[in-house]
Amino acid sequence: MATERYNAREAEARWQKAWTEAKVFETKNDDPRPKYYVLEMFPYPSGRIHIGHVRNYTMGDVVARYKRARGFNVLHPMGWDAFGMPAENAAMKGHVHPKSWTYDNIATMRGQLKSMGLSLDWSREFATCDVEYYTQQQKLFLDFMKAGLVSRKKSKVNWDPVDMTVLANEQVIDGRGWRSGALVEQRELVQWFLKISDFSEELLSAIDTLDRWPEKVRTMQRNWIGKSEGLRVRFEIDGPAAGGDPTIEVFTTRPDTLFGMSFLAISADHPVARALGEGNADVTAFIDDCHRIGTSAAALETAEKKGYDTGLKVRHPFNGKSYPVYIANFVLMDYGTGAIFGCPAHDQRDLDFARKYDLTVTPVVLPDGEDAGNFVVGNVAFTEDGKLINSDFLNGLGVDEAKNKVASILETRDLHGKPAGARQVNYRLRDWGISRQRYWGCPIPVIHCDSCGVVPVPTKDLPVKLPDDVEFDRPGNPLDRHPTFSKCTCPECGKPARRETDTMDTFVDSSWYYSRFTEPRAGTPTVPSVVNSWLPVDQYIGGIEHAILHLLYSRFFTRAMKATGHVDFDEPFRGLFTQGMVVHETYQTADGEWVSPGDVDIVTDGGTRKARLRTTGEDVTIGAIEKMSKSKKNTVDPNDILESFGADTARWFMLSDSPPERDVEWTDAGAQGTARFLQRVWRIVSETSELVPATGTAEGGDKLALTLRKAAHKTLAMVEENIEGLRFNVALAKIYELVNTIGSALANERGTLEGDLAASNALREAVGILVKIMAPMTPHLAEESWAALGHDGMLALSDWPVLEKSLLVEDEITLPVQVNGKKRADVTVSRTAGNAEVEAAALALEPVIRALEGKSPKKVIVVPGRIVNVVA
C-alpha cells in the first residue's frame, strides 16, 4: 500500500492557518445557541510554556472542541497573569524593564500556545498588566471602598534589615533574606485589606452548592475558613494589671476543660506582652526571638514551642486558684483573642508545652471504659469525648453538656463591668491583605492627605498608571523613590498630598479575569448583561495548588462584585477540575551535578535501564521521579516536543495513560509510541479512503459489518461518557480498542471489505466516527483525515456523530460465577434470563461442581447482569 506518512509539521501549520482565517474559534456574545464557558487557569508569563501548561490547556481544549461539536456556543479565552515578582527579579538581575520582559515573554508563549492548535478565541486576549485591565481593577477597588469592603490596618511583613526591603515568604530561607543572608525581622506596616471575613459564613455554607467541584477542594476550603463555636473567657489578673486592663480574654473551643487548666499563654504581640516588654529587657528579647521565626504559619508551627514565664498570674473563674501567664511563640495574635488557656491533658500542643516547662497535667475528661482512679495522660493528649472528672460541678457530664454549663454560668457572671464569658462563633479565615511594597502590580488608587486623611482617587482621574522610568539598581520599592509618582494634590482640599505607593497582590488580578473575558474591551469592569449570560464558568481547569487561595479569593471577589453591581451571580465556577502535575526522572552525575534529560541518553542493558551523558558517555544515576523543577534540571521543554513530534502527539500523549487529576511523567518512549499510533490511524484512514471511495449509508449487515458497527458505536458511547467525566485516559483507551478492531479487519478481512457493500459501508462509518471522536484530542490529524475521506468543509465546524443505541444491546451476556467469593467459571445466558435460570445454569457448570466438593450450596446470590456467587 503506497500510503504516504502523515506529515504533522506541514499539516498542523496549514490547519492552524485555516482555522484562524475562518475565525472558527472567535465567539460571538449574541449567538443564540446554549452557552458553554470553558476556562483554564491563565499562565504566568515566565518566558516559555511549561509541560504542565501543555497538559492543562489540552484538557480544556478537548472540552471546548467536544462541546462545540455538540452544538454549544463555546467561550474559550486565554490571557496572562502578568504582574508579579519574577519580572522585578529579572529587572534586578538583567537590567531589563519588567514591562518589556513581560511582554516579550508573552509574545514567545503566545506563539508556543498557538502552535499547539488550541481552539482559543485570541481576539479576547489580555494581560493583567495592560493599562486597560488594571484601570478597571482600580475602579473595582474604589467601588469596594465605597461599599465598605476595604479596610486599613497594621499587619506584619518580613523585613530584611540589610536590603531594607519587604520579603515574600519564599524569599525567607531558614529565617534569613535570600539575597542579603541577614536575619529577617518582623515589621508592622499599615496595609490595605479586603474584608473577605465579612463573607466567612456565606463562603462556607455555599460550598454545599458546589456539587461539580472535587470533594477534596471543598473539604480544604471548609477547613481553611475554619468555623468553630466556642467561648470567650475573661480571666482576672491576680495582682497589678499590665497595660490597664485588669483581665485577659481567651478564646476556647473547650470550655469544658477549664478545670484542667495549668497555664495561660498569650501571643508575643498581645497588648499585655507589649506592656510587659516596656522596660524589661528579658521580655523584649523573648518577643524579638518570636519575631525572628518569620511570618508564615508553617515556620511558626514547626518551630520549637517556647514560652516565657511573665511572673503574672490569673485567677481561675471557678476554683479560685492562680495560674502562670506565659508568652508563647505558638499563640497567634490573628486568631481568636491572641490568648489561650492551656489544658495539657486534652490538647497536644498544650501537653508538649506543659512537659517542657514541667507544668501540672490534670485529666478532666475520662475516656469511656477507663477508670478515673487509674487514668493518666502520658505524652498523648486525649481529645475525644468522654465523661468529666476532677471538675467540681461538671463531674459526670459529657463534653457538650459541660461546655454549655460553663458558658451559661460565665455569660451571666460579671467581671469588672462585663460578662465573664461570651459564646462566640469564630472563623480562622482572616481578612485579605492586598498591599505589596512592589512596583510590578496594580497601583492602589488612593491619596494620603495630611488634612483629609485617606482619599480615593476620583474615577475621572483614573488610571493611576505605573511610571515607566523606574530603576532597579537597589532593593526596595522603586515607586517609593520615584521623583514624581507619589507627588499629587488632594482631590478634596487641593493641598499637596502623597499618592499611595503600595500595589495590589497579584491574586486580585486573577480574582476577576474570568468575568473580564466576556467583554474584554469594555470601558467598565464588566457589562452586566453579557457577564451574567456567560457566567458561571461551566468548566474551570487548573492545578491543585490553587485549591484554596486563588479559588477562595475568586469566590469572595465575585460576591464583592455582586454587592457593587458588576455581576449578578455568587459563584464564579460551576465545575472545577484540578489536574495533577507533570513529573520526570532526575539524573545526577557521580559528583552530584543535576543533568537535564535533554543531555542524557537512555540505554537498556540486559533488561535494566541505564543513563549516559550524551557528550562524554559518562554514566549518570537515574534518580527519583519528581515534580519538574529548575533546580533539579528535570524539565522538558514542550517546544522540543512540539518541534520533533508535532502538537497532536504532544496533546494525545498528555491525555493518555495517567488520569488527569494525577501526576503524569513525560517519557520520550511514550511520546514515540503516540507518534506511531497516530501514523497508524493515518494509514487506516488512507486505506479506507482508497478501499471505499463511494459514500454509502451504514445499516443492518451481519458478521463483519455488524462487528464494525457495534465497535464504533460502543466506542462512541464510551468516549462521550468519559470526555464528559473528564476521564481522558479512559476515553483514549477505548479509542485504541476501536483502532485495533478496525486495523485487524483491514488486515484480515480484505476480501469481505472489498466484496460486501454492507461491510465496506460499515468500515467507512467506523472510520468516520473514529476521526470525529479523535478530533478534540488530535484536531489537525482529524481535519486532514476528514478531508482524505472525501468530505468538504472543516471538521471543526461539523457535528458530533449520532449514537445508535440499538447497537449497544447484546442478546447474550456472560457472567462470572464465584464459589465463596472466588471466581471459578463463566456462564453465558440470554439477556432476558431470570435469576432462577441463571442459578441453575451456574450450578450445572463443571468447575462449580468441582469447587463445591460435593457440598450443597447454602445460598446463591445472583446480581442481574453482574455476577453469581455460590455460598457453600
Taking the complex as a whole, the smallest distance from the CB of residue 673 to RNA amounts, in Å, to 3
Give the footprint of RNA on residues 847-866 (CB under 7 A): 847, 850-851, 859, 861, 863, 866
**Residue 676 CB partners (closer than 8 Å, separation 6+):** none
- Does the footprint of RNA cover residue 744 (CB under 7 A)? yes
Taking the complex as a whole, the smallest distance from the CB of residue 21 to RNA amounts, in Å, to 33
- Hey, how many other C-beta atoms are within 10 angstroms of the C-beta on 733? 14
- Does the footprint of RNA cover residue 823 (CB under 7 A)? yes
Strand order in the sheet with 432-433: 165-167, 150-160, 185-194, 432-433
Give the footprint of RNA on residues 348-367 (CB under 7 A): 348-349
Give the footprint of RNA on residues 299-328 (CB under 7 A): 301-302
Taking the complex as a whole, the smallest distance from the CB of residue 150 to RNA amounts, in Å, to 15
- Does the footprint of RNA cover residue 519 (CB under 7 A)? no
Q: Which one of 822, 853, 854, 856 is in contact with RNA (CB under 7 A)?
A: 822
Give the footprint of RNA on residues 375-414 (CB under 7 A): none
Instruction: Find the part of the chain contacting RNA (CB under 7 A) among 228-236, 528-536, 738-746, 788-796.
Output: 738-746
Tally of CA atoms within 13 A in the half-sphere of 707 that contains its CB: 16
x/- mask, RNA, residues 427-466, rule CB under 7 A, reads -xxx-xx-xxx-----------------------------
Taking the complex as a whole, the smallest distance from the CB of residue 3 to RNA amounts, in Å, to 10
Q: Which one of 47, 243, 491, 743 is in contact with RNA (CB under 7 A)?
A: 743
Dist. CA 427–CA 585, nearest whole Å: 42
Q: Which is nearer to RNA, 419 or 673 (CB)?
A: 673
Give the footprint of RNA on residues 220-279 (CB under 7 A): 220, 223-224, 226
- Does the footprint of RNA cover residue 216 (CB under 7 A)? yes
* Terminal-residue alpha carbon distance, the chain: 59
Give the footprint of RNA on residues 108-137 (CB under 7 A): none
Taking the complex as a whole, the smallest distance from the CB of residue 372 to RNA amounts, in Å, to 24
- Does the footprint of RNA cover residue 802 (CB under 7 A)? no
Q: Which is nearer to RNA, 394 or 675 (CB)?
A: 675
Give the footprint of RNA on residues 617-636 (CB under 7 A): 626-627
Q: Which is nearer to RNA, 271 or 433 (CB)?
A: 433
Cβ(415)–Cβ(219) below 8 Å: no
742 φ/ψ angles, rounded to the nearest 5 degrees: -65, -40
Dist. CA 773–CA 53, nearest whole Å: 23
Dist. CA 333–CA 297, nearest whole Å: 12
Taking the complex as a whole, the smallest distance from the CB of residue 292 to RNA amounts, in Å, to 16
Dist. CA 351–CA 381, nearest whole Å: 7
- Does the footprint of RNA cover residue 747 (CB under 7 A)? yes
**DSSP structural state of residue 259:** G
Instruction: Find the part of the chain contacting RNA (CB under 7 A) among 296-304, 519-527, 610-618, 828-836.
Output: 296-304
Taking the complex as a whole, the smallest distance from the CB of residue 52 to RNA amounts, in Å, to 11
DSSP collapsed to 3 states, 724-769: HCCCHHHHHHHHHHHHHHHHHHHHHCHHHHHHCHHHHHHHHHHHHH
- Does the footprint of RNA cover residue 680 (CB under 7 A)? yes
Q: Are strands 664-665 and 582-588 parallel, antiparallel or unpaired?
A: parallel
Total residues contacting RNA (rule CB under 7 A)? 103
Number of H helices, E strands in the chain: 27, 37
Dist. CA 614–CA 619, nearest whole Å: 10
Give the footprint of RNA on residues 462-491 (CB under 7 A): none
DSSP-assigned letters across all residues of 410-471: HHHSEETTEESEEEEEE-S---EE-EE--SSSPBP-EEEETTTEEEEPPGGG---PPPS---
What is the phi-psi region of residue 131: left when phi exceeds 0, alpha when psi lies from -120 to 50, beta otherwise?
alpha
- Among 639, 659, 249, smallest CA distance to 421 is for 249
What cell numbers appear for 277 in the block? 516588654
Taking the complex as a whole, the smallest distance from the CB of residue 870 to RNA amounts, in Å, to 9
**Amino acid identity at 290:** C
Give the footprint of RNA on residues 36-95 (CB under 7 A): 44, 81, 83-86
Give the footprint of RNA on residues 153-172 (CB under 7 A): 157-158, 166-171
Residue entry with cell 513525560: 666
- Does the footprint of RNA cover residue 547 (CB under 7 A)? yes
Q: Which is nearer to RNA, 285 or 861 (CB)?
A: 861
Q: Please, is 617 exposed, middle or buried when counting C-beta atoms within 10 Å of its C-beta (0-12, 13-18, 19+)? A: exposed
Instruction: Find the part of the chain contacting RNA (CB under 7 A) among 91-99, 398-406, 639-647, 677-685.
Output: 677-685
Instruction: Find the part of the chain contacting RNA (CB under 7 A) among 364-372, 739-747, 750-758, 775-783.
Output: 739-747
Q: Which is nearer to RNA, 639 or 679 (CB)?
A: 679
